[in-house]
Amino acid sequence: MKFGKEFASQMVPEWQEAYMDYNYLKAVLKDVLNTRKRMQTTPRQASTPRGSALKRRVSLYRAFSGLTGRNRRNPNSPLARGDDEEVILVNSVTENGSSDARYQTMFLMSTEEGGEYELVFFRRLDEEFNKVVRFYRKKVQEVEEEADRLTRQMNALIALRVKVDKPDVRSQGSHADVSELPQDRSGAGLPGSRKQGRATMDVIQEVEMRGEEQVEGESRGSRKDAVNSGGFRPAPLEILDHVKINVAADTPVSTLKGILMISDSDLSFSKAELRKAEERMTRAFIEFYQKLRLLKSYCFLNQLAFSKIMKKYDKITLRSASKSYLKMVDDSYLGSSDEVNRLVERVENTFIKHFANGNRRKGMKILRPTAKREKHRITFLLGSFFGCSLALTVAIAVVIHARDVFDSPGRFRYMDNIFPLYSLFGFIVLHMIMYAGNIYFWRRYRINYSFIFGFKQGTELGYREVLLLSFGLAVLTLAAAISNLDMEMDPKTEKYQALTEMLPLALLLVVIIIAFLPFNIIFRSSRFFLIWCAFHCICAPLYKVTLPEFFLADQLTSQVQSFRNISFYVCYYGWGDFRKRLNKCAESKLYEYFFFIVAIIPYWFRFLQCIRRLIEERDPKQGYNSLKYLSTIVALIMKTIYDLKRGVHWKIWAAATSGVATIINTYWDLVVDWGLLRRNSKNPWLRDKLAIPSRGVYFVAMVLNVILRLGWMQTVMGFREAPFLHRTAVIAIFASLEIIRRGIWNFFRLENEHLNNVGKYRAFKSVPLPFQHDDDKRI
């Protein structure tokens, strides 16, 4: 693989603009190469071959450099000066009022023919290098400030351990491990500057890790004194007098306490508090370590990119400018700063000692989870299930044709009673296939969906795993459906096997059991993550709303027909005669009302989530979003009244409210969720930044969204019947179109979220810390 592609594949997606623009610099060098080729093929040069012959004769009289090449460069000889010094001069310039240095390269050969292209190259090279240095310096300062916060949190955590566990340190005598408990001897508990931040991390290293050779200065001397005296330096317990604890889980109880202004942040020094504080600190250290690793990778990749581009320049121009420029790179903050490496080492040591019980292998396994590998059996099973699905689909078509099911007297009974039962699984399978397609294109266009959804590293499902689950469910559904078609459908006998008629219910129970299966099989972490998000949606607004939860609630709004099919399960198997394929749902007013209420439930979830976010975030956009869902709820209510009472008057109200809701939802999809229709954008009527190179894809998606949105009004306008399709089939087709629309929406919604994160360089999750100091703002 070429370096350009490898460089792009190793980038942190949210930091793409902060990396060196390797492809642009390559394009500039290509212009330099083309210019030099044109110079070599000009008629003037072609008509003077004697010049080249003269060069060859003169070269015969040059001093011999030796076979080993040792005599080629003698630094004491004025004749052997480095050629790179004659090509470029690199200077650092300090701007007024700033301690950061900017680097400028002076190209000494600009008067040569074609030198203007090389001058452009070095100017752009300096811009890219200064951009990289500024970004790296800023990120290093951020992690140092976060290291200060973690240091103060660790001091409070260790003091809480002492307070709760009450260890008998006197019995350890002179053999006590002085690294067990830290002593705040350098003001670690007080806010300080960046230099003080380094000192506080030195304290962590000095007081926690035994036998480390990196400790120096006063900290090392104090440790030696403590060891020689046989004493034990206890943790500063007085720090607990100036902190509050924030370990309350986000639960309905905590939400109600927040509404009632009841605070329970005072320390009670219980083991439960200690355990929760350790859990939060563990997550904070893991996330902080990932930041350091990505920052270290950023530094290495950019240094490698500058090295590659300079060597390419030397190769094209036959000059020797890379040595002096790369020396400047090494001497700069990007190449000489060692803060990240020191922090990486000390975070590892701290985490292993305090959160892995001194087990280095266990600690590093937590800090550096293994990358997820594609398994061959996943691909094999996927292909097998896909083939079985195709075979069963063909078999169903053959059975329908052989038995002439469409002309059978029992076809209406089948469509009214059995088809809605199996169409539920069809909607689920279709939604999973669309989600698998989303994952594929998210990965292809480097949209960091795993970070956006907050998946734990190594547990996120790829598109193959999602397709495996979808086709596995499709095989079960099609196998059960063909058994119903294979039954005798003669109205004279009116006999149906009860066992076969129970297959849809059995299949539903199997899906529910697999979803809640506690064993570590069939992607348990992903199943539980889905269940937890669904539970939060149901309990809205009692839980804090995060992106996975409102994203899932949006998916549920496109599965209204699935909710109705589930209610039909209750009606059909509850008080219907399923042995004769008869149901009494149409005769039940309760079912009729519930049939329309379930359509409102997903939109009500989203409405409550928007209200919760409006109260917490004080974001007016969430208020407008809640009005959007409220308009949809009103439209559904009007449709329900029209379906129950009929009449032209109610039809007009239903059509009007549905039309308004459709317009509002379409505008919100395109402008807010997708970020499109920007008139003054670099890409007219699109965004300034696009993940897909082809702009036509966005216009096609917008048109499809509008067309598929119109299908939402089909129940209002009365398009429920077709001359060649049953009513339930028409409803299933429109429900499938809505699922397809949602699948398209998913890609562009997450793309817009990703690009917003890119604009803010937001590549990490914010982890809440357990302790709040008196002189801090709320963490």
Residues 6+ apart with CB under 8 A from 745: 554, 669, 673, 674, 705
Q: Say if residue 214's pLDDT is above 60.
A: no
Q: In the chain, what are the domain boundaries?
A: 376-649
Q: Say if residue 224's pLDDT is above 50.
A: no
Q: pLDDT at position 154, please? A: 92
User: Across the chain, what does the average pLDDT equal?
Assistant: 81
Q: Which is more confidently placed, 64 or 415?
A: 415
Amino acid (one-letter) located at 342: R
725 pLDDT tier (thresholds 50, 70, 90): confident
pLDDT tens figures, 692-712: 999 999 999 999 999 998 876
For the question of whether the overall pTM of this predicted structure is more than 0.75, the answer is yes
Is 141 in a helix, a strand, or coil?
A: helix
What whole-number percentage of the chain has pLDDT above 90? 44
Q: What whole-number distance in Å separates Cα of residue 461 and Cα of residue 442?
A: 13
What whole-number percentage of the chain has pLDDT above 70? 79
DSSP 64: P
pLDDT tens figures, 406-459: 777 778 888 888 899 999 999 999 999 999 999 999 999 999 999 999 888 888
Residues 6+ apart with CB under 8 A from 705: 666, 669, 670, 741, 744, 745
585 pLDDT tier (thresholds 50, 70, 90): confident
Q: pLDDT at position 603, please? A: 94
62 pLDDT tier (thresholds 50, 70, 90): low
* DSSP structure string for 389-440: HHHHHHHHHHHHHHTTGGGSTTHHHHHHHTHHHHHHHHHHHHHHHHHHHHHH
Q: Which is more confidently placed, 187 or 512?
A: 512
Q: Say if residue 286's pLDDT is above 90.
A: yes
Q: Considering only CA atoms, which of 649, 630, 642 is closest in space to residue 718? A: 642
Is 520 in a helix, a strand, or coil?
A: coil
How many other CB atoms sit within 10 Å of the CB of residue 492? Answer: 7
Mean pLDDT of 136-161: 92
Q: pLDDT at position 64, please? A: 53
**Residue with the two structure tokens 């060098």:** 29
pLDDT tens figures, 638-653: 887 887 777 788 888 8
Q: Which is more confidently placed, 257 or 7?
A: 7
